[in-house]
Structure 1
């Protein structure tokens, strides 16, 4: 049995159309789920359920026959999946990373320390970093991140090394 993305999208669309009333949904051609298409629907519906996008309403009898209760519903994750913006899942799943000013300063100071430059220049840079205002530190950090993104191929190689991929 092959998973069928267009069938999955079609089923999600049908379930979105009947949401929140599962009893109005008629996915199967036959009540006993006997046809080849019904078997494909069962497999794809269970696949969507395993990913938390639907509640299938499918059970299996002791003999392995499919029992469709007629109550398939789309979940909040399924509805969000269909939305162009990712829905509330995208909003609620946002991760905010906060770096303390002292942490940023320490990173910058350690980079200056290992740089190959005259001692006098290192001292001058360290003093400038240590006395930098919060706003100046914020601007420098933005520029450093932008410069780091310009070196993205190097960053990807480094990530591979760190993750052992």
Structure 2
């Protein structure tokens, strides 16, 4: 079982020495031998550090923290967290077309559909944005149904 306290201590030690490498002897007060190798290997697999582990005796010789490891230590997650954010941008025309398609797919009378489509086409960008917000809020009211759908949806 990986000791998270020790992995954090290792990262903090490496962070304090950055950008230099830290030799295994400088980590001996945290862990030694097989335990140190397991902890370093774990952090290496998560790309929190780079290290040299000798193949003939499986001993760590040195380690160095990576930017990902440094970001892990920061409260805000650093650039790793920022780069992991997904921003969805829908252009005005795309958003407008989504609403128009939804109106056209509805069971409403053709004259009502036509009127709504004309209103959507005339709606300025700010109005379209507010409509999208309201549609999202309304959609989130049905979140339990959405979760059920997500579990059964075919993703291809």
Structure 2: 5+ residue stretches without partners: none
Q: Return the alpha-carbon distance in structure 1 between the equivalents of residues 93 and 48 of structure 2.
A: 43
Bigger Cα displacement from structure 2, 148-157 vs 74-83:
148-157
Shift of 1:83: 1.1
Matches within 5 A, 1:54-133: 54-61=49-56, 65-69=57-61, 71-133=62-124
Kindly provide the CA deviation profile for residues 103-130 of structure 1, in whole angstroms up to 9, marking residues without a partner as x: 1112111111222223332222111111
Structure 1: 5+ residue stretches without partners: 30-34
**2:42 equivalent among 36, 43, 47:** 47
Is it true that 1:14 corresponds to 2:6 in the alignment?
no
Paired position in structure 2 for 1:139: 130
Kept in 1, the 8 Å contact 2:33–2:59? The answer is: no
Shift of 1:88: 1.3
**Please, what TM-score do these two structures have when normalized by structure 1?**
0.80
Kept in 1, the 8 Å contact 2:37–2:59? The answer is: no
Cα RMSD (Å)? 2.2
Paired position in structure 2 for 1:32: none
Q: Return the alpha-carbon distance in structure 2 between the equivalents of residues 3 and 24 of structure 1.
A: 21
**Please, what TM-score do these two structures have when normalized by structure 2?**
0.84
